[in-house]
Structure 1
Amino acid sequence: MEVTALCIRLLMTVLLRLVAHVDFSDCQRADVGFPQVVPNRQQFFEYEPITVTCEGLEGLTGWRVVRRIGGAVKTCAASWSTSTGPCKIKNAIVAVDSGEYWCEMGGAKKSNTVNITVTGGSVILESPAFPVMVGDDVTLHCRNKQMSSNLTAAFFQDGHLMENSSMGNLTLNSVSKSDEGLYTCSIPEDGQSSASWLIVRAADKVPHRGLQLPLLLCIAVSVFLVVLLLLMGLLQCGKHRTITIDIPTSPPSIQSFCSPLTVAEVESEAAPNRETYAVITNLRREYDNEEPLFMPVYHTLSLGTA
């Protein structure tokens, strides 16, 4: 029992260390949402202010805003140690601030990305920075740099003209997956905007709402592996387990089990100058009625005298 208990303690120690070093980043990332962009749009004119924040994401603080600009990945702040909190850009620059933005925490959690485009042109398309849900009403705005109102604008989806609007707005009522795509707009005499991708998701597929299937699968697989390792460890320990059989120190009297060979007969068969011992290997017996379950075994050992 001591060997088995020792094996179990060692196995549990190993399992705890394995679990402590398991990288659940993929599971965690499946349940993390999107950073917030203020104002909530993907396109900005150059020198406009932009704020990207992760605070409150999943009810946690201490997030860092990370961005990929022209292939280079770095935090919003000058150093990693000072990069927690919102990323505040006072004057956006085309080559410096256009790119992908996401949230990270300790290298284990990573949110989904949002795309921000800073343009030096005269027209932008205002569309949501993160996905919209199926059934929502979404309004796209086409703006010029002079912030003129009541502009006539043309809206395009995947390069196809959708609508000409005298108000500079396009409203998509009760959006569906068919509304997902690449949108642009143009204003006569001002030019055309950059393209922005509108993502439409079903309500049960929004990453930051509740536990999702990938996370549940990761948890189930982890539990299964822990149980499997525990069982394998117990089986391995069982191979080296020591079994102790308790044999009584005082065997029953010879007269009790020597009906086939009496003590007198053993003594009569002994040679004059030799001593004979009748040794009975005593096995634990259980009786059903009056018959033993195990028959006694007799050994006769002759030991020569000195």
Structure 2
Amino acid sequence: MEQTCEVKLLLLISLLCCSLNQAKVKLSPSRSQFFKGTFVSFSCEDDHSSAGTMLSRNTSRDTRKECEEWGQPAASSCVIDFVVSSDSGVYWCESTEGGASNYVNITVTDDPVILQSPVLPVDEGEDVTLICKTKTPPFNLSADFYKDGTFVRTTPTGHMTIQLVSKSDEGAYKCYIRGRGESPPAWISITGQEVKVVLFEPSLTLLVIICIVVSSPYVVSTLLLVAICRQRHKEKASPVSLTAPPPGEDEEGLESEDVVA
């Protein structure tokens, strides 16, 4: 029973570790569109892997090249100080074990207008703010927003907030500022709410409690089996005699004979 409990604990811990052992790529500033000449930093998050990760990309200029060939390594990040149009493309992290992370797609443009939108998928139920930004001031200008080519609404400051997003809000968005121009389209992905599992380091007491909980059905069944065996043993060890005289009958008989004598 102890071995079974240990096996189940190891299986539970391994499942938790495997579910959290996937690398994630993030970038700063976190948006999908950049003006030419601005700064962007990529990083790989893979705290539970001892094998290490590397950042790769697929652009019009190169494919699956490491950071040293197109950026500047800085600690755990890869920095591009001056982005250009050829830096537009897909970026992701790969572990030396062969696992791949999520993918982020960025667009670098020399146009006067961009749409600042989430580069990572957004969970259902969250609020999303889109910002139509110009390359030169003034920045808070009135802007028209479109989704999949259909006009949505006009905002006086160039900010549009979508409250409690759902799957129906997924699509390609763009904005237009009169006298300045139109932004490239930006795709917004909506995902279901994820159940987040927090990895912790269990103490000895917690492991004992988990072991007891896991093995409790086996303990109960074992106790019931022992109780049944003991009951059957008692029934076999003490049979009831049908011919035995009632208590005190022999003594009364002896006393009556003494009186007669």
Q: Do Structure 1 and Structure 2 share a fold, with TM-score over 0.5?
A: yes
Unmatched segments (≥5 aa) in structure 1: 1-27, 212-306
User: Where does residue 136 of structure 1 map in the other structure?
Assistant: 126
Tell me if structure 1 keeps the 8 A contact 2:23–2:94: no
1:159 counterpart = 2:149: yes
User: Where does residue 46 of structure 2 map in the other structure?
Assistant: 57
Unmatched segments (≥5 aa) in structure 2: 1-17, 199-261
Tell me if structure 2 keeps the 8 A contact 1:114–1:130: yes
SS across alignment from 1:74: coil
Count of matched residue positions in the alignment of Structure 1 and Structure 2: 177
Amino acid in structure 1 at the alignment position of 2:46: L
User: Where does residue 189 of structure 2 map in the other structure?
Assistant: 199
> Quick one: distance in 2 between partners of 1:198 and 1:30?
25
SS across alignment from 1:92: coil
1:91 counterpart = 2:82: yes
Tell me if structure 2 keeps the 8 A contact 1:45–1:124: yes
Q: TM-score, normalised by structure 2?
A: 0.62
User: Where does residue 188 of structure 1 map in the other structure?
Assistant: 178
User: Where does residue 136 of structure 2 map in the other structure?
Assistant: 146
Q: Per-residue deviation at 1:178?
A: 0.5
Q: Report 1:199-238 matches (<5 A).
A: 199-204=189-194, 209-210=196-197
> Quick one: distance in 1 between partners of 2:20 and 2:181?
39
SS across alignment from 1:111: strand
Percentage of matched positions with identical amino acids: 35
Q: Per-residue deviation at 1:49?
A: 0.3
User: Where does residue 239 of structure 2 map in the other structure?
Assistant: none
After superposition, the CA RMSD in angstroms is 2.5
> Quick one: distance in 1 between partners of 2:40 and 2:118?
14
Q: Per-residue deviation at 1:76?
A: 2.0
User: Where does residue 125 of structure 1 map in the other structure?
Assistant: 115
Q: 1:103 aligns with which of 52, 71, 93?
A: 93
> Quick one: distance in 1 between partners of 2:57 and 2:27?
13
> Quick one: distance in 2 between partners of 1:44 and 1:160?
24
User: Where does residue 77 of structure 1 map in the other structure?
Assistant: 68
> Quick one: distance in 2 between partners of 1:187 and 1:35?
32
CA pair 193-30 structure 1, distance change in 2 beyond 3 A: farther
> Quick one: distance in 1 between partners of 2:46 and 2:178?
41
Greater Rg, structure 1 or structure 2? 1
Amino acid in structure 2 at the alignment position of 1:113: Y
> Quick one: distance in 2 between partners of 1:101 and 1:144?
25
Tell me if structure 2 keeps the 8 A contact 1:48–1:92: yes
Q: TM-score, normalised by structure 1?
A: 0.53
